[in-house]
Amino acid sequence: MRTNQPQTIYLSEYKVPAYLVDQVDLRFELFEDGARVHSTLTVRRNPDSGESAAPLFLHGDSLQLESVALNGSPLRTGEFEDRGDALVVPSVPEKFELQVVTWIEPQNNTRLEGLYKSSGMFCTQCEAEGFRCITFYPDRPDVMARFRTRIEADKSAYPVLLSNGNPVDNGELENGRHFVTWEDPFPKPAYLFALVAGDLVEKKDTFTTCSGRNIDLRMYVEPRNAKKCDFAMDALKRSMRWDEDVYGREYDLDIFMIVAVDDFNMGAMENKGLNIFNSSCVLASQETATDAAFQRIEAIVAHEYFHNWSGNRVTCRDWFQLSLKEGFTVFRDSQFSADMGSPTVKRIEDATLLRTAQFAEDAGPMAHPVRPASYMEISNFYTLTIYEKGAEVVRMIHNLLGDEMFRKGSDLYFQRHDGQAVTTDDFVRAMEDASGRDLGQFRLWYEQAGTPVVSVSDEYDESSGIYRLTVRQSIPDTPGQTGKKPQHIPFALGLLGADGQPLPLKLSGESGEAPLERVLELSQAEHCFEFEGLSERPVPSLLRDFSAPVRVHYPWTREQLLFLMSHDPDGFNRWDAGQRLAVDVIQSLVGAPESAGVEPRLVDAYRSLLQDSELDQALMAKMLQLPSEAYLIELAEQADVAAIHQAREKVLGYLAEGLRDELMACYRRNVGQGDYQLTPEAIARRSLRNTALGWLLHIGDQEALALAKEQFRGADNMTDRLGALRALVNSDFAEDRTQALEAFYKRFSDDPQVVELWFSVQASSDRAGQLPQIRQLLDHPAFDWKNPNKVRSVVGAFAAQNLAAFHNPDGSGYEFLAEQVCRLDDSNPQIAARLVAPLTRWRKFAPGYSKQMKSALERIRDKAELSRDVYEVVHKSLA
């Protein structure tokens, strides 16, 4: 597990595998003190590999080798080499069977990679390189094999035994043991292998596919979670139907299974036919899950299901191609979520995540292209860049090609590459071949890291009626990449007249009717566009619907932003104008004297918002959210966190004071709306009333306090209960806060997912989550260092969301994080490496902060025996 000088792996050094595996036969003997894994590989030399006498090389990690045999004859010392992280057989025939027996200890596996135990059940996680923790194997995605898996275990402790594919055999064994055999007819890479053994309840449903096949749908959960499955099951069926309707993709096995496990490093995993989920990303009930959680679950269930085609049937050649499956699948799940709810709100949420967190990643020391060129530890590359920027890149292709051509392209991609392990370039080529478009320059989106900056300036000539837009793009340097080439950027825009009407966009020299919105395609460092026939100076609405993952600079006046905020026909840009205005107002107060006033027009704008009965309530709910501290920090040159925090609080307080009556009216208008529903309208109402409540408690309003306490006690759903709790926790009503927290814990102490919410509400609050309180949370009996969700809900929430406390000028927050990273690095390096992220941005902060952040990183660097995961992040950050 530990290497002192981890190696860098390069895309340019890719070589096809020397040997291919056609068939894998596995037999697992599961016991309490370990597991014996019998593996039989049917291997042949790869005809495409130039090396004829290559040794057979199999990856391994933390394995105890018991025996190796070739074509049935045991190999003796000297005929193979057990290197610990590999098993090498120097001389093998053209075709052969290799039998390997290994012993592993799932009960001691705290890294949660490979086979491990979670609340008494056995489960696996093999992406990216976990299969090598189970048995010796060519653990790379371009080796695709058919798997047959027999699982043997004690029948009373592990009545349910699952693996990929279809169950083909089962029976009783001696000593109260039993077995089940599974066969997966589809060749797959080892990272899609899965096994589950436990005492689980089964939830059943069925789905009839477009061609009339009946699919058994199954969810397996611990008995206490039996009542939390319905929503995910319905979401699964919606996903299956949607993938047929929109992409023409039908499910291919006879059974599809979902398992929920409590201890999981990530959100969920798309193992063939047997998706394994982090409990928090699949289990939900009205009483225990917030609206945000329901939406997340729907999106993740869809995401994992969609992987069956985009990822499993067509997979990645190597891990540099990770975005091939992740970018495309995130794009697919975001289209799905948009179709299920409010498209504008979904777009706002995606863009917010991208602009807050992915732009920050792109500007930091771990910046990498959507298709990276090198890595040390692939687990560190499950990033916002691979996932969310990758999805934006696919979205741009979709928008450039249009619905129909994009569908032709995806059909061609699936048909051409079914059963293959391919590259992002293959994906782009299929899009080109189907549409006839040249995406040559577009490919730079995959190769160049960094967020393009698009700067716009304009000129209006009254006498000629010409409006001239000059658009420049530049891409900042990132580690290892300088002097970048201009990219192909689809830039959607509209122009508005003073009366709020859209104006025609007629480019000079064009004839025919001019459109009211258009997508300019930027390809050079600078373009000049001339629009003619304009009788007034227009207000530009730029990058509509966030048509490309870029930063846009344009010197909007506050006047113009106010105007766009209420008139832009593009919902996304309406929201964005409000955000830009709020950012401008907050920024102008950062570091300003106490006496500096808040822009009064901001209050007026929010007042009109609150009173606008025409406006889509879901959009209104989003527009009422002030830009987050994280986003403000991302926008700052040298972030002074305390000053940003104060400025934002000041604006929030000013708005809440100025709009007290409107907020109260908004609250009352949006309470008591009958049965709990998950429609965009109902979600918007809950969001509006909880925002109003939060603002009013922020200014210590007594009437709102009474309402919050009532809502906290009487809520029939978690969104409202938690909304009230959060408002209380973030208020200065210290006693009520304590009481509410106690009552909440008492009520939900036996539900780990709700306890995680309880932890994170405190850890992310600048009132309840100062460092001494955070340390108390770590000592709480419900806290568990072995459970990634608990670690994230306290340590992760503190460092990522409680920015004022984490960035305490005395450096204590950084020291604390460094301490927790070091302690976790020994047990779970993946989680430890993810926790380091907030420190990696040290260069972004004002000197007082950055110096101390850097020394916290150095403390981690100097720990003895650092994992490869943390090593890579820390060393790249300090470089």
Rounded to the nearest whole angstrom, what is the least distance from the CB of residue 270 to ligand PHE in the complex?
Answer: 5
Closest CA relative to residue 259, chosen from 208, 214, 197: 197
The 3-state secondary structure of 779-810, one letter per residue: HCCCCCCCCHHHHHHHHHHHHHHCHHHHCCCC
How open is the CA angle 451-545-455, to the nearest 5 degrees?
45
> Which residue, 140, 139, 60, is CA-closest to 100?
60
143 or 192: whose CB is closer to ligand PHE?
A: 192
Pick the closer one to ligand PHE by CB: 152 or 326.
Answer: 326
Based on CB atoms, which residue is closest to Zn ion, 21 or 266? Answer: 266
Shortest distance, CB of residue 378 to ligand PHE, whole angstroms?
A: 9
Give the separation between CA 26 and CA 35, rounded to whole angstroms: 12
What is the chain's length?
A: 879
CB of 113 to ligand PHE, least distance (A): 8
Q: Cβ of residue 424: shortest distance to ligand PHE, in angstroms?
A: 16
In whole angstroms, the minimum distance from the beta carbon of 312 to ligand PHE comes to: 10
Other Cβ atoms within 10 Å of 365 Cβ, number: 19
377: annotated active-site residue = no
Q: State the nearest-atom distance from the C-beta of 307 to ligand PHE, in Å.
A: 6
Q: How many angstroms separate the CA atoms of 187 and 314, rounded?
A: 10
| Sheet arrangement for strand 551-553 | 526-531, 466-474, 453-461, 551-553
* Beta carbon of residue 134, minimum distance to ligand PHE (angstroms, whole number): 15
How far apart CA 598 and CA 596 sit, in angstroms, is 7
The answer for residues whose C-beta is within 8 angstroms of residue 50's C-beta and 6 or more apart is none
Q: Which stretches of the chain bind Zn ion, using CB under 5 A?
A: 326, 329
Q: How far is the CB of 336 from ligand PHE (least distance, A)?
A: 14
> Catalytic: which of 113, 152, 298, 304?
304
Collect all residues with Cβ–Cβ distance below 8 Å to 113 and sequence separation of at least 6.
125, 126, 129, 130, 133, 265, 830
Q: Where are the strands (E) in 173-233, listed by range?
A: 177-188, 195-198, 201-208, 214-221
Q: Scanning the structure block, which residue is given the tokens 């569908």?
A: 407
Closest approach of Cβ 725 to ligand PHE, in Å?
Answer: 30
Q: How far apart are the first and last CA of the chain?
A: 23
Measure the CA–CA gap between 722 and 794, rounded to whole angstroms. Answer: 17
Question: What does 127 bind: ligand PHE, Zn ion, none (CB cut-off 5 to 8 Å by kind)?
Answer: ligand PHE
> Do residues 188 and 164 lie in contact, with contact meaning Cβ atoms separated by under 8 Å?
yes
Nearer to ligand PHE among residue 384 and residue 489 (C-beta): 384
Q: In the bound complex, what is the minimum distance in angstroms from residue 394's beta carbon to Zn ion?
A: 13
Residue of this chain nearest to ligand PHE (CB atom):
266
Residue 125 interface partner, choices Zn ion, ligand PHE, none, CB cut-off 5-8 Å depending on type? ligand PHE
Phi, psi at residue 93, to the nearest 5°?
Answer: -75, 180
With respect to Zn ion, which residue has the nearer C-beta, 326 or 616? 326
**Of these partners, ligand PHE, Zn ion, none, which one is at the site of residue 751 (CB under 5 to 8 Å by kind)?**
none
Report the C-alpha dihedral over residues 365, 369, 373, 374, rounded to 10 degrees: 30
Q: What residues form DSSP beta bridges with 316?
A: 422
Nearer to Zn ion, 326 or 426 (CB): 326
Q: Reduce the DSSP state of residue 42 to 3 states and report it.
A: strand
30 binds, among Zn ion, ligand PHE, none (CB under 5 to 8 A by kind): none
State which residue, 270 or 377, has the beta carbon closest to ligand PHE: 270
Please report, to the nearest 10 degrees, the dihedral formed by the alpha carbons of residues 89, 94, 100, 105 taken in order: 70
With CB under 5 to 8 Å by kind, the binding choice for 29 among ligand PHE, Zn ion, none is none
Contact 309, 247 (CB under 8 A): yes
Cis peptide before 128 (omega within 30 of 0): yes
Task: Decide which of Zn ion, ligand PHE, none touches 269; Cβ closer than 5 to 8 Å per partner kind.
Answer: ligand PHE
Report the alpha-carbon distance of residue 489 to residue 549 in Å, rounded: 9
CB 763, CB 800: distance < 8 Å = no
Nearer to ligand PHE, 274 or 469 (CB): 274
Q: Residues in the site for ligand PHE, rule: CB under 6 A? A: 125, 127-128, 266, 268-270, 303-304, 326, 382
The secondary structure of residue 284, as a DSSP letter, is -
What type of residue is 194?
A
Strand ranges of the sheet holding 274-278, from the earlier edge strand across to the other edge: 201-208, 214-221, 255-261, 274-278, 268-269
Q: Which is nearer to ligand PHE, 229 or 330 (CB)?
A: 330
Which CB sits closer to ligand PHE, 229 or 266?
A: 266
Active site residues: 304
